[in-house]
């Protein structure tokens, strides 16, 4: 029998216990052993929980219990979870976690310490086995690109806005439905997606980057004009986590993105997640499913427990021998190249277009398409550019913003095609 201790028995923890019980026969058959949760660590043991396991408040009663084989970390947060997980590894326990923030900050240190299996399928894209796909299924490939819809909150909001609904209105509904937190910043600001992207990028490229080092922009500035532009020009707007290898540089970024509606990933709506990966041997594969939720996450956690029970030890981030990546670096944000969509609200005056076009040309930015729409008392100018550098577009936007006839903050969305 494989004995499991869970640190943090919330929604996911309860679902893990329940589903291990509900599906125990088929799980035993697949794992080759019985799997049982024997202890849980919680802050408040008196709180009503729908499970019948021994509850303690000191994590060491799990991480140092000689009976326990696998420690499942479901606390969330970074520092305390790091302390708990290190203690488990230092006492010879295998670890399963769903904690994307922990891994965003400490995955390489944990890989160094771990002499036992360390699995984290549940940390990216919920119930979709994307970690196994990338690390084990696509191991023959150099990964050229990863594009992920890996935050269900953002995808839900953007999907609802396509129906002509206002951002603020949809956010409120998302909060009521439990798809967004009271303080939604972590999701709508792109930070949650960034944590997950870093995990995927490490498996693809063995690169250790922190959230603070990469470009992160959320969906808070998307409005219905942008949605209409997308529809008119055959795009969808999605918050994407993007990883690319260009020469010896790895580009990592999270931001709203215009993608052609024919792209498979453009067809993913609502709270669902999807990760598209382009490998140099296989081409494009995509993985779709529920990115969050107690049961979806529990499915991933339990699949990791079963793998460990089967005796399968994987190199944590996929590399048994560290890859010689001395010459692979994180691309500086300023050097990232992309096509951009710009939304500029201006007074209806003579010379507006000439002045804006002059600034773009001066900064080496070439216009691909242009749409001018009159509004009540002002004019909306919608541009899409050819590829240019982040630093060039930032400079151009700053200069255009300073023109006297520009009425509102300029919005921009990167275009991937």
Q: Using CB under 8 A as the criterion, which residues of the chain lie in contact with a second copy when the complex forms?
A: 15, 19, 23, 25-32, 121, 127-129, 132-133, 136-142, 206, 264, 267-268, 279-290, 295-296, 298-303, 306-307, 310-315, 318-324
In whole angstroms, how close is the CB of 152 to a second copy at the nearest point? 13
Query: How far is C-alpha 384 from the chain's CA centre?
Result: 26
In whole angstroms, how close is the CB of 396 to a second copy at the nearest point? 37
Identify whether 196 is a catalytic site residue.
Answer: yes
- How many angstroms separate the most distant Cα atoms in the chain? 79
d(CA 347, CA 330): 41
Q: Closest CB to a second copy among 151 and 297?
A: 297
Q: Closest CB to a second copy among 76 and 137?
A: 137
Q: For the CA atoms of the chain, what is the radius of gyration?
A: 24
In whole angstroms, how close is the CB of 175 to a second copy at the nearest point? 22
Q: Closest CB to a second copy among 142 and 358?
A: 142
In whole angstroms, how close is the CB of 220 to a second copy at the nearest point? 28
The β-bridge relationship of strands 2-7 and 35-41 is parallel
- Helix ranges (DSSP H) in 314-413: 352-362, 390-401
Q: Which residues line the annotated binding site for NADPH?
A: 100
In whole angstroms, how close is the CB of 129 to a second copy at the nearest point? 2
Q: Which residues line the annotated binding site for L-homoserine?
A: 181
Q: Is 377 left (phi over 0), alpha (psi -120 to 50) or beta?
A: left
In whole angstroms, how close is the CB of 103 to a second copy at the nearest point? 18
284, 114 Cβ separation under 8 angstroms: no
333, 254 Cβ separation under 8 angstroms: no
The β-bridge relationship of strands 143-149 and 215-216 is unpaired
In degrees, to the nearest 5, what angle opens at C-alpha 95 toward C-alphas 93 and 98? 160
Question: Which one, of 130, 101, 147, lies nearest residue 251 by Cα?
Answer: 147
d(CA 115, CA 285): 32
Residue-wise DSSP of 191-255:
HHHHHHHHHHHHHHH-----GGGSEE--STT--HHHHHHHHHTTEEEEEEEEEEEETTEEEEEEE
Q: Closest CB to a second copy among 263 and 392?
A: 263
Grouping H, G, I as helix, E, B as strand and the rest as coil, residue 50 is coil
Catalytic, out of 196, 244, 331, 380: 196
Side-chain-facing half-sphere of 368: CA atoms under 13 Å: 13
Q: Closest CB to a second copy among 104 and 268?
A: 268
Catalytic machinery residues: 196
């Amino acid at each position: 029998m494989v004995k499991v201790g869970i640190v943090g028995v919330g929604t996911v923890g309860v679902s893990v216990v329940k589903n291990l019980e509900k599906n125990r026969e088929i799980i035993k058959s697949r794992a080759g052993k019985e799997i049982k949760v024997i202890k849980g660590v919680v802050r408040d043991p008196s709180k009503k929980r729908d499970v019948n396991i021994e509850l303690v408040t000191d994590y060491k009663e799990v991480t140092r219990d000689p009976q326990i084989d696998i420690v499942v970390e479901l606390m969330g947060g970074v520092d305390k979870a790091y302390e708990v997980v290190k203690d488990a590894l230092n006492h010879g326990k295998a670890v399963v976690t769903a904690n994307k923030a922990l891994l965003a900050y400490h995955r390489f240190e944990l890989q160094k310490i771990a002499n036992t299996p360390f699995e984290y399928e549940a940390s990216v894209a919920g119930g979709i086995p994307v970690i196994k796909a990338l690390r084990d299924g696509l191991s023959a490939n150099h990964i050229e690109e990863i594009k992920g819809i890996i935050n269900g909150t953002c995808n839900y909001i953007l999907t609802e806005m396509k129906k002509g609904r206002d951002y603020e209105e949809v956010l409120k509904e998302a909060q009521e439905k439990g798809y967004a937190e009271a303080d939604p910043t972590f999701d709508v600001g792109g930070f949650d997606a960034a944590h997950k992207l870093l995990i995927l990028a490490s498996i693809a490229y063995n690169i250790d980057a922190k959230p603070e080092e990469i470009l992160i922009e959320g969906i808070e500035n998307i409005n219905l004009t942008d949605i209409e532009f997308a529809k008119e020009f055959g795009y969808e707007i999605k918050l994407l986590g993007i990883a690319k290898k260009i020469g010896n540089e790895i580009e990592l970024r999270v931001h709203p993105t215009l993608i052609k509606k024919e792209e498979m990933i453009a067809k993913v709506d609502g709270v669902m997640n999807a990760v598209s990966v382009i490998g140099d041997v296989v081409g494009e594969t995509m993985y779709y499913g529920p990115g969050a939720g107690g049961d979806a996450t529990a499915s991933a956690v339990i699949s990791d427990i079963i793998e460990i029970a089967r005796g399968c030890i994987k190199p944590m981030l996929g590399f048994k021998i560290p890859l010689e990546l001395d010459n692979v670096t994180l691309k500086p944000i300023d050097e990232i190249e992309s096509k951009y969509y710009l939304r500029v609200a201006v007074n209806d005056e003579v010379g507006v277009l000439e002045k804006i076009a002059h600034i773009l040309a001066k900064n080496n930015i070439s216009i691909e398409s242009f749409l001018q729409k009159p509004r009540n008392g002002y004019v909306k100018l919608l541009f899409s550019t050819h590829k240019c550098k982040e630093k060039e577009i930032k400079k151009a936007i700053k200069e255009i913003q300073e023109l006297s006839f520009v009425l509102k903050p300029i919005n921009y969305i990167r275009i991937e095609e």
